[in-house]
Chains A and B, each alone.
Chain A
Amino acid sequence: MQKVIQISLGGHALMFQLEEDAYSALQSYLERARTRLNRDPDRDEVLRDLEQSIGEKLVNLLHSGNRVINRREVDAVLEQVGTVDAGNAEAAAANARPERPRRLCRIQEGQWVAGVCQGLAAYSSISVEWVRTIFLAVSIPTGGLPILAYIVLMFVLPVARNHDEYVAMQSRAT
């Protein structure tokens, strides 16, 4: 036994009758499309276009009568419509993002100990004085936890001789 669900699609006057699993296939297709188009400023319009086009294919399938549509038929229609490719919209959004995540380095020029604070400052665009102040301020109540972190970072981080070399390393990394 199958429940039949009646739906309207993208402005089609005809109410389509879908078996329950056909309905859920269509619904999950549209939900996936919505997610993929998340960054598209015209998301709702594209979704409406897709619905309309799916409706058109279903109308063709039904010829003139209006019978219940099954899962297999819906799957075939969705196969024709194809997965939503938001490639362009996503690429545009990626280009619009101001900066890619950068790599943390030690910077030797102007270092007090090993340049970790210099590196953190360059990484976060906070001035090195602030980084050192915060570093010391946190060290006192925590019994020197940042000092331990400093030592670890000293061994882990790649080294740049000065700020220019750091910038050059970033452009190579991306």
Chain B
Amino acid sequence: MDFDKFNTLRKGLLEFLILGIVSSGRVYAADMMQRLSKTDFATQEGTLYPLLSKMRRDQLLDYEWQESETGPPRKYYKLTSSGRKQLTEFREYWESLTGLIDELGKPSCKK
């Protein structure tokens, strides 16, 4: 399949998927990559870290430090209230989009 065409789309969606992952609780960056690894959105630290810091600047996420047994303390991320709000908005928007996409192909739309 021609996945290249969808690259830009995927890139733009990643941020919202991360909101979704982080909404499940306190998450460490490696957990996010693990969660995405089996999907089309498999991502690496080189992409994820700059994105996470940008999302934190946008006040969608925040993190706290937590001690780790194997190394230095880790950052555990959680959603802020505006992050949660944005995730809800995104889900609604996405639903309306898929509705629209389905609708557009149907013959009933023809004039």
Contact = CB atoms under 8 A, between A and B. Distances in A.
B84 to A, nearest CB: 21
A84 B75 CA distance: 19
A41 B45 CA distance: 18
Contact of A84 (B46, B54, B56, B73): B46
Interface in A91-109: 92
A65 B70 CA distance: 13
Interface stretch (A46-54, A137-145, A147-155): A46-54
Interface string A64-89: 00000000000000001111111111
B47 A82 contact: yes
A42 B49 CA distance: 10
Interface in B22-62: 29-30, 43-47, 49-51, 53-54, 56-57
Given A50-B49, A85-B46, 5 more contacts: A42-B56, A50-B45, A80-B45, A88-B51, A88-B54
4 shortest interchain CB distances as A-B pairs: A82-B44, A11-B72, A82-B46, A42-B53
Interface of A: 10-13, 33, 37, 40-42, 45-46, 49-50, 52-53, 55-56, 59, 80-89, 92
Interface of B: 11, 29-30, 43-47, 49-51, 53-54, 56-57, 70-73, 75
